[in-house]
Structure 1
Amino acid sequence: MNGADNLQQEQAPAKRGELIAVCSAKGGIGRTVLAVNLAVALSKNNIQIALLDGDFQFGDVSLAMDLQPTFTIKDVAESMDAMDKHTAASYLIRHSSGVKVMAAPERPEQADLLAAPALGTVCDLLLAQHDYVLVDTEVGLKESTLLFVEKADQIFILTTLEMAAIKNTRLMLETLEALGLRHKVQLVVNRATMDSVIKATDVPDIVGIEHPYYVPNDFAIVAQSLNIGVPFVQNHGKTDIAKSIFKMAEQLISRREISLFKPKQPSFLNSLFHRTKGSTT
């Protein structure tokens, strides 16, 4: 490689993936299940996916993927002075799907050791080496979650057809609007086929968000998935619930490809050739 190649590499813009923050205003409505299965569904498209367990007190990503991490984000934060994107990669644990996981701390009290600047740096390091970084956040809008949603390219907010979930979701959306972040929001109506006096198609009007994703209710599949630590998009790919996640992944990738597409400008010589050719015919 010559000096010109080195200079070209130095001048090339740094690669940056997309950050997706998976959030909810109420616990127990499927946030971790969505984050894990969407990450695995995205990885099937031969792209680099990282999943950060952002529930630093009671994160369940490792459990949901049957992983026994050697390192956690606490270890990364403690070594931040010597951290770069290559060093950060050594703290990730690889799932059989190819998804690389940054695990939550082992103990709830260790969450207090994670300062906001370190979390922001971790996100940047992961984004430098992955096409998508998904963050399974804590419930609500705690300080760490606010950091993630501010850095996010897209914010996936889960709700269900339960009245409490819808009420809290609406309050969360109002808060994000006040913060100038609502334009990033994508609503996900989970358990959309469950029995309820509220219909899934009524939710967009109630909370004021159009074109949500709908994920059907399948308690048996989800419970089994969590109990054995195998994301259902891996071993139940033909079920309706898995198909809804695959559809979500396809739309995300299509949107990213459109945003990255820039028509190549014809070179001066190419333009001159076509102009000359056109004048001689």
Structure 2
Amino acid sequence: MNHAEKTEDGRQGGKRGEMIAVCSAKGGVGRTALTVNLAVALTKKNIKVSVLDGNFQFGDIALALDLHPTFTIKDVVEDIESMDPFALSGFLIHHSSGVKVLAAPERPEFADLIKPGVIDRACDLLTAQHDCLIVDTGTGLQEQTLQFIEKADQIFILTTLEMTAIKNTRLMLETLEVLGYREKIQLVINRSTMESVIKASDVSDILGFETSIFVPNEYQLVSQSLNIGIPFVSNHARTDLAKAVFKMAEQLISRREISVFMPKPNTFLQRLFTKHSTAP
């Protein structure tokens, strides 16, 4: 595709939106709260943002934004192959901030309907029409999460100062390094100011990262925000917590331009087995 050509939605130069996968090795570390608040923070900077709830069994994105989905990703399954970006937009829920959401299925058993081809096509359609797609993934390294990680331009790995979170995060990072994703990973230390025998600055060293993003601990504010469905960057924008998320948004905006997405020839499993077979 040359620079004179257009994408399906008419974008010049074959540009696509950036895809960010928000992941964690442990549940309850703040993935959903970060996803919705980062999305809203980006829209305040006039960035077109969509959010895909990739936790297909127990997704909470709609709840965190006080949205009541008419449609979910389950409803696009049958027609996904023939769907274009404009058709998919009819299945998105519009938040008052401007964020558009493709919700998770309403029942856990429906998660099995979301096959790899559906994920692949949905992500491509969403990045075709938006400057940024943020995916809130499931916990750990389940197959669907690995697919999001493979497609993502940047991966946010969240952890906290709890020893169990750090231990599991280290295992997750080691696995992703074997798969060749190290350069895409940004470590986010959430609740970095909480009382702990482990200092936030030590977590970066423990996990082998020279730089990390530190998000302060305001657990009560986050809990209230999730319970009422109003992102804290909207109604508590002057707090240190909101400022940390706005800083993340600024860093994303000032980053590189996103080039045309070129699918990788090998799947993550092929690369994993290749790495192990060639290991001494």
TM-score bracket for this pair, using the shorter chain length:
0.7 to 0.9
- 1:232 equivalenced with 2:232 (yes/no): yes
CA contact (8 A) 1:216 1:240 kept: yes
CA contact (8 A) 1:23 1:138 kept: yes
Give secondary structure in 1 for the equivalent of 2:50. strand
Matches within 5 A, 1:78-117: 78-117=78-117
Stretch moving more, 163-172 or 82-91: 82-91
CA contact (8 A) 2:52 2:103 kept: yes
Matches within 5 A, 1:72-221: 72-221=72-221
Shift of 1:241: 0.3
Q: Distance in 2 between matches of 1:89 and 1:169?
A: 35
Give secondary structure in 2 for the equivalent of 1:128. helix
2:33 corresponds in structure 1 to 33
Between the two proteins, what is the percent identity of the paired residues?
Answer: 66
Q: Distance in 2 between matches of 1:199 and 1:192?
A: 8
Larger radius of gyration: 1
CA contact (8 A) 2:53 2:137 kept: yes
* Ranges in structure 1 where 5+ consecutive residues have no aligned partner: 1-6, 261-281
Q: Distance in 1 between matches of 2:29 and 2:157?
A: 11
CA contact (8 A) 1:15 1:129 kept: no
Q: Distance in 2 between matches of 1:22 and 1:136?
A: 5
Shift of 1:82: 3.0
CA contact (8 A) 1:159 1:190 kept: yes
Q: Deviations over 1:125-163 (max 9, x none)?
A: 000000100000000011110000000000000000000
Q: Distance in 1 between matches of 2:118 and 2:6?
A: 26
1:71 corresponds in structure 2 to 71
1:246 corresponds in structure 2 to 246
Shift of 1:78: 2.1
1:13 corresponds in structure 2 to 13
The amino acid that maps onto 2:210 is E
TM-score using structure 2 length: 0.88
CA contact (8 A) 1:57 1:109 kept: yes
1:53 corresponds in structure 2 to 53
Q: Distance in 1 between matches of 2:209 and 2:42?
A: 24
Give secondary structure in 1 for the equivalent of 2:75. helix
Q: Higher helix fraction: Structure 1 or Structure 2?
A: 1
Give secondary structure in 2 for the equivalent of 1:86. helix
Shift of 1:207: 0.5
* RMSD of aligned Cα (Å): 1.5
TM-score using structure 1 length: 0.87
Q: Distance in 1 between matches of 2:43 and 2:213?
A: 19
Change (3 A) 1:159 1:82: same
Change (3 A) 1:131 1:167: same
1:255 corresponds in structure 2 to 255
Q: Distance in 2 between matches of 1:152 and 1:249?
A: 17
Q: Deviations over 1:11-34 (max 9, x none)?
A: 953230000000000000101000
* Ranges in structure 2 where 5+ consecutive residues have no aligned partner: 260-280
Shift of 1:10: 5.2
Shift of 1:8: 4.8
Give secondary structure in 1 for the equivalent of 2:255. helix
Give secondary structure in 1 for the equivalent of 2:77. helix
2:264 corresponds in structure 1 to none
Q: Distance in 2 between matches of 1:220 and 1:10?
A: 46
CA contact (8 A) 1:23 1:136 kept: yes
CA contact (8 A) 1:126 1:133 kept: yes
**Structure 1 residue runs of 4 or more that deviate by more than 3 Å after TM superposition:** 7-13
Shift of 1:249: 0.3
